[in-house]
Structure 1
């Protein structure tokens, strides 16, 4: 069973997997940052960063791992933003 868990952990640790675009923006906003502020850290234009965030473009290798690291850090810091609004089921129960 440990081999299976190791394989799952390897999948979870992939450095190039980003959350969906709508989650990326939500995470950034939860941290109170504007696109131009994050773009400046990466040394790219706001337009280039906007394309990453919306999924219109993927960061190049030198930025990809750092951007995924940032997204993962925000997700840990703001779990509510990472998972989005809770869904309400018929019985009114939140999940």
Structure 2
């Protein structure tokens, strides 16, 4: 598996690996790039919208089980919007 690290998708995994979350502003930008509302993200994760608001503002962090689901969710968005995941301009 030596070549796994050279796989371009691994860069996204490095950004959001297992339960590691990107910075709050990137979380928000990924959601916006995917044209999702905070309510839609909350529904997908089974949490309240105010939880997503806090996570995107950096005021709170998700607990372990929510953190794993949120990280997986963001990893999917990062694969769809790699420029945003890397902190670049929002795709549109």
How large is the RMSD of aligned CA atoms in angstroms? 2.3
Aligned residues of 2:42 and 2:52 also touching (Cα < 8 A) = yes
Q: Which residue number in structure 1 is paired with residue 24 of structure 2?
A: 21
Q: What do residues 2-59 of structure 1 show as CA deviations (whole Å, max 9, x unaligned)?
A: 6xx7xxx8xx474221111110000011111000111112222211111112221111
Normalising by structure 1, report the TM-score.
0.71
Alpha-carbon distance change, 78 to 54 in structure 1, aligned in 2, over 3 angstroms: same
Equivalent-residue separation in structure 2 for 1:82 and 1:61 (angstroms): 22
Please point out which of 82, 85, 89 is paired with 2:88: 85
5+ residue gaps, structure 1, are 87-95
Q: Which residue number in structure 1 is paired with residue 54 of structure 2?
A: 51
5+ residue gaps, structure 2, are none
Off by >4 Å, runs of 4+ in structure 1: none
Q: Of the two structures, which has the highest relative contact order with CA contacts closer than 8 Å and spacing of 6 or more? A: 2
Task: Please identify the structure whose Cα radius of gyration is greater.
Answer: 1
Q: Which residue number in structure 1 is paired with residue 76 of structure 2?
A: 73
Normalising by structure 2, report the TM-score.
0.73
